[in-house]
Amino acid sequence: MFESQITDDLRLHLLNDSCVPDYVRLVRENFDYLVQWLDWPRFCVTSEDFSKFVIDSVESYRAGNSMNCAIRYKGALAGVAGFNKIDRKLRRVEIGFWIGAGFQGNGIVNEICRFLTSYTFETLQLDVVQISVAEENVRSRAVCERLGMKLEGIISNEERIGDNVLNHAVYSLRRKRT
């Protein structure tokens, strides 16, 4: 199973059953913040819901289709990040992430995304990293820009979050060929 120590304070590991209680607590504490940008917190609320998500995530990882990881910051569950989709045919991954509001401002998402980008190019030997974020999500867009990603474009009416329909800004970074 996948696990990596990113910095002294920051660790990434595959989601597992031990994450479920902390995951439920973190989402409850950050519900109002998360539902601005994500639809799933409205439907994934119980320990059973999260346990099913963990099982599905592990199966998808074993099949080579995705990699959903817990972000641990100083030992605490801070959020989730990884590859929402691994597409070997198109030689690209789609990175997804969310982090609790109390953990923001520590450079956690930047470090995680840098690691995942390197992992894509060096370990998976794929060519493109893509991140799709809500057009109005300034903080997530800033992560993409700090990574040196190129804005590929804006997709209109890409996702419904509650009563809101969001446009997505799609960013990508290509592996440099030597």
DSSP letters for 5-51: E-SSSEEEEE--GGGHHHHHHHHHHTHHHHTTT-SGGGT--SHHHHH
Question: How many CA atoms within 13 Å lie on the side-chain side of 135?
Answer: 14
The DSSP 8-state label assigned to residue 110 in this structure reads H
Note whether 88 and 106 are within 8 A (CB): no
* Residue pLDDT tens, the chain, 178 long: 799 999 999 999 999 999 999 999 999 999 999 998 988 999 998 999 999 999 999 999 999 999 999 999 999 999 999 999 999 999 999 999 999 999 999 999 999 999 999 999 999 999 999 999 999 999 999 999 999 999 999 999 999 998 999 999 999 999 987 6
Note whether 100 and 26 are within 8 A (CB): yes
**Tokens 């799933």, located at residue:** 40
Residue 46 to residue 37: CA distance in whole angstroms: 20
Strand, coil or helix: 113: helix
Per domain, the residue ranges of the chain are 3-125
Sign of CA dihedral 40, 7, 177, 141: positive
| CATH dotted code for 3-125 | 3.40.630.30
- pTM assigned to the model: 0.93
Please give the sequence-ordered ranges of beta strands (E in DSSP) within 88-135, or none if there are none.
92-99, 128-134
Note whether 85 and 120 are within 8 A (CB): no
Task: Looking at the chain, list the stretches that DSSP marks H as alpha helix, in order from N- to C-terminal side.
Answer: 20-29, 31-34, 47-62, 108-118, 138-146
Beta strand 92-99 pairing with 128-134: parallel
